[in-house]
Amino acid sequence: AYRTDEGQPWVLPVVKKVEQLIANDNSLNHEYLPILGLPEFRANASRIALGDDSPAIKENRVGSVQSLGGTGALRIGAEFLRRWYNGNNNTATPVYVSTPTWENHNSVFMDAGFKDIRTYHYWDAAKRGLDLQGLLNDMENAPQSSIFILHACAHNPTGTDPSPEQWKQIAAVMKRRSLFPFFDSAYQGFASGSLDKDAWAVRFFVSEGFELFCAQSFSKNFGLYNERVGNLTVVGKDADNVQRVLSQMEKIVRTTWSNPPSQGARIVATTLSSPQLFDEWKGNVKTMADRVLLMRSELRSRLEALGTPGTWNHITEQIGMFSFTGLNPKQVEYMVKEKHIYLMASGRINMCGLTTKNLDYVAKSIHEAVTKIQ
């Protein structure tokens, strides 16, 4: 979760404002939302992902399912795919997740009934970057119709995203091999500070004519973590197909949670549908993204100034909340035990944990870990 420079959680100012508006609106009540969610939320959420001028939206071939966070959107999408994709109830369709990936991806698709979950190459530990060739090879060799979980931006946990050129190559292979793109978009806006930039990959795939799913989370970019606000965007060939897909997703939702929680969706819908509040939100998002970017550049410059062995450009080249530092498990153990700096055994740090007050300490500690421990 995001933290301020004082190391505190941050409720976005625009969220506070909108919550006040909601609290003061006596016309509102706590009635059930429709099964697929709040209509104003759904439309706005998908519009955020695909862009105001999205051809898919204009052509009325976009559907949306309000979900319980990004996880809920992934689960509804996975349940639908298991029932209706690549035949009927085909649990054998391979599902590919990146190496590494958010650990819950595996469980979501397994619990949805998929029996064959595979990995695709992604992180190149040696060069501390994207193993594009490995990724493309895996796609070439994947059975046709395989499902690929793609991180739309700010890859979790590596922070390493394909460049636009690399995305183009990925899309080309996927199109040729008839692979299904399922985007996980948990950090739109939060990664680069720009909603459009962070949505580039998803929009590119749409422009290439793909049918795809995009699981969106508003946990981070709206700071609405515990309200569980998410959206599954469905892009199909035409309105008729999308309508039938949604009707079946409705049945899945009905037996999972019946209808989604209303508070978080109201906050997002109100914000996104008001030009003024929308601008304010974009500003809040940029504040968060900028702080993370600042911490990245400050950490990197300190490590380089200290002469810490190795190269540290990956700290600023990676994007989003997380960074794969390249520290090995022994070095991580040193950080945790000796320096009381908590990071994952994989060497992943949460950039949000860095503050102007602890930057020096963290940089020195990394320096020590790298020089003392091999």
Partner 1 sequence: SSWWSHVEMGPPDPILGVTEAFKRDTNSKKMNLGVGAYRDDNGKPYVLNCVRKAEAMIASKKMDKEYLPIGGLVDFTRASAELALGENSEVIKSGRYITVQGISGTGSLRIGANFLQRFFKPSRDVYLPKPSWGNHTPIFRDAGMQLQAYRYYDPKTCSLDFSGAVDDISKIPEKSIILLHACAHNPTGVDPRQEQWKELAAVVKKRNLLVFFDMAYQGFASGDINRDAWAVRHFIEQGINIVLSQSFAKNMGLYGERAGAFTVICKDAEEAKRVESQLKILIRPMYSNPPMNGARIASTILNTPDLRKEWLMEVKGMADRIISMRTQLVSNLKKEGSSHNWQHITDQIGMFCFTGLKPEQVERLIKEFSIYMTKDGRISVAGVSSGNVGYLAHAIHQVTK
Task: Single out the residue of 259, 273, 301, 355 in contact with partner 1 (rule: CB under 8 A).
Answer: 259
The first and second tokens of residue 256, run together, are: 């999972």
Name the DSSP class of 170: H
Neighbours of 330 (CB within 10 A): 13
- Does residue 157 interact with partner 1 by CB under 8 A? no
Stretch that binds partner 1, among 84-92, 272-280, 303-311, 336-344 (CB under 8 A): 84-92
Judged by CB under 8 A, the stretch of 103-111, 148-156, 186-194, 299-307 that binds partner 1 is 103-111
Q: Of 99, 169, 256, 355, which lies in the binding site for partner 1, with binding defined by CB under 8 A?
A: 256
220 is catalytic: yes
> What is the dihedral angle through the alpha carbons of 33, 34, 38, 42, rounded to the nearest 10 degrees?
150
Question: Does the protein bind partner 1 through residue 94 (CB under 8 A)?
Answer: no
220/34 Cα distance (integer angstroms) = 25
Q: Which amino acid is at 351?
A: M
Which one of residues 30, 275, 307, 340 is an interface residue with partner 1 (CB under 8 A)? 30
CA 355 to each of CA 5, 176, 298, 306: distance values in angstroms, whole numbers, following the listed order? 5, 46, 10, 18
Q: Is 339 considered catalytic here?
A: no
DSSP string, 61-115: -EEEEEEEHHHHHHHHHHHHHHHHSSSSS-TTS-EEEEES--THHHHHHHHTT--
Query: Binding partner 1 by CB under 8 A: which of 100, 189, 260, 320?
Result: 260
Taking CB under 8 A as the binding criterion, the range among 110-118, 277-285, 323-331, 363-371 that sits at the site for partner 1 is 110-118
The single residue of 131, 161, 184, 198 carrying the catalytic annotation is 184
How far is Cα 321 from Cα 289, in angstroms, rounded to an integer?
9
Neighbour count for residue 150 (Cβ, 10 Å): 25
One residue of 5, 116, 124, 250 binding partner 1 per CB under 8 A = 250
- Residues marked active site are found at 102, 184, 220
Residues lying near partner 1 in the complex (CB under 8 A) are found at 1, 9-11, 15, 19, 23, 29-33, 35, 67-69, 71-72, 75, 84-86, 88, 104, 107-108, 110-112, 180, 211, 219, 223-228, 236-238, 241-245, 247-248, 250-252, 254-264
